[in-house]
Amino acid sequence: MHEPTEGDRHSFERAFTTDDVRRFADLSQDTQPRHTEPDADGRLLVHGLLTATLPTKIGGDLEVLARTMTFEFVRPVYTGETIACTLTITAVTERDDRYDIEGEVVCENEDGEAVLTASLEGLVEKA
């Protein structure tokens, strides 16, 4: 367990594949054609909640148990685009058995444009 500290920044990036989107469509049963049929450039539109797995991956790495997460889907994400996601810890309150945390998330495309922003509250248990 990493002790959370206000101001800590954690990042992760990835590009979603056509297979990722199709598997998520099967799992979520959101099989709208925009997620299953390629556009004129051969890309699929990535589900918003699939994009939202980027900050949840960071939270998992940090052993955060989320209480609330609020997402804003700012721009579309397409297969093949590399998306960089950064979580910044904005507040930490130490308790006897845990740390209560708050954070802000920004996920950006290759052009540096925000595609997803989020805020979260959660906890990290002490070891």
**Model confidence over 77-125: pLDDT tens digits?**
999 999 999 999 999 999 999 999 999 999 999 999 999 999 999 999 9
**pLDDT-derived band of residue 127, with 50, 70 and 90 as boundaries?**
confident
Edge-to-edge strand ranges of the sheet holding 98-108: 9-15, 82-94, 98-108, 114-125, 65-73
Residue 48 has pLDDT above 80, yes or no: yes
Task: Report percent pLDDT > 70 for the chain.
Answer: 99
CA-based radius of gyration for the chain: 16
Task: Calculate mean pLDDT across residues 26-39.
Answer: 95
Give yes or no for a contact between 76 and 115, defined as CB atoms under 8 angstroms apart. yes
